[in-house]
């Protein structure tokens, strides 16, 4: 008895705490950073903050133009800085504030980093209207491999499996 109720209560409790912890001042700070990034010409109109226990651990802005790096999105830059600051490759217990809903690459990076919560300002549709490909890439990912715009083909799987076999037995193997 009470199984579903306990689950429901736990989910509601989690939502309650998330909403309670959301800090509009931090969102205003990333929005301001994103606008400053436009004016400085370093990259797109994006910024992100990583927060742990209410304190900002790292700030990142989009530096695609400045670094000629198509992966230098605000969230990825912030994750790299936060990991360097905290000395680890996981950000459990941290939250990310981002001026725009994470694109597929950044969303995946957020999963790899094991961040707890995402707060975003602009939505994916707003980014699409501003000329960014987020929504297009999300749709591409939902297609079967053969139907995607960029073709991909598997080659030499048997030989490639060698590195996985080595990993299984490696003393350097770590969960991430």
Q: Applying CB under 5 A, which of residues 57, 106, 124, 127 lies at the interface with Zn ion?
A: 106
In terms of CB distance, is 90 or 107 closer to Zn ion?
107
In terms of CB distance, is 86 or 105 closer to Zn ion?
105
Binding segment toward Zn ion, per CB under 5 A, in 87-95, 103-111, 152-160, 165-173: 103-111
Binding segment toward Zn ion, per CB under 5 A, in 25-33, 100-108, 121-129, 141-149: 100-108
- Distance, CA of 59 to CA of 67 (rounded, Å): 17
In terms of CB distance, is 51 or 102 closer to Zn ion?
102
Say whether 25 is catalytic.
no
Binding segment toward Zn ion, per CB under 5 A, in 3-11, 14-22, 69-77, 146-154: 69-77
Q: Applying CB under 5 A, which of residues 73, 97, 113, 127 lies at the interface with Zn ion?
A: 73
> Which residue from 139, 137, 122, 150 is spatially nearest to 62, judged by alpha carbons?
122
How many residues touch Zn ion under the rule CB under 5 A: the total is 4
In terms of CB distance, is 35 or 163 closer to Zn ion?
35
110 near Zn ion, rule: CB under 5 A: no
Which residues contact Zn ion by CB under 5 A? 73, 103, 105-106
């Amino acid at each position: 008895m009470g199984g579903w109720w306990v689950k429901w209560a736990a989910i509601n409790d989690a939502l309650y705490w998330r909403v309670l912890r959301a800090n509009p001042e931090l969102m205003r700070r990333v929005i301001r950073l994103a606008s400053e990034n436009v004016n400085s010409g370093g990259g797109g109109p994006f910024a992100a903050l990583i927060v742990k226990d209410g304190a900002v651990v790292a700030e990142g802005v989009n530096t695609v133009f400045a670094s000629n790096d198509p992966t230098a999105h605000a969230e990825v830059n912030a994750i790299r800085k936060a990991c360097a600051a905290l000395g680890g490759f996981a950000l459990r217990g941290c939250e990310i504030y981002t001026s725009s809903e994470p694109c597929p690459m950044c969303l995946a990076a957020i999963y790899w980093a094991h961040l707890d919560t995402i707060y975003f300002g602009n939505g994916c549709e707003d980014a699409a209207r501003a000329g960014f490909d987020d929504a297009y890439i999300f749709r591409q990912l939902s297609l079967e491999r053969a139907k995607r715009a960029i073709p991909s083909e598997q080659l030499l799987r048997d030989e490639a499996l060698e590195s996985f076999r080595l990993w299984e037995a490696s003393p350097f193997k770590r969960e991430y």
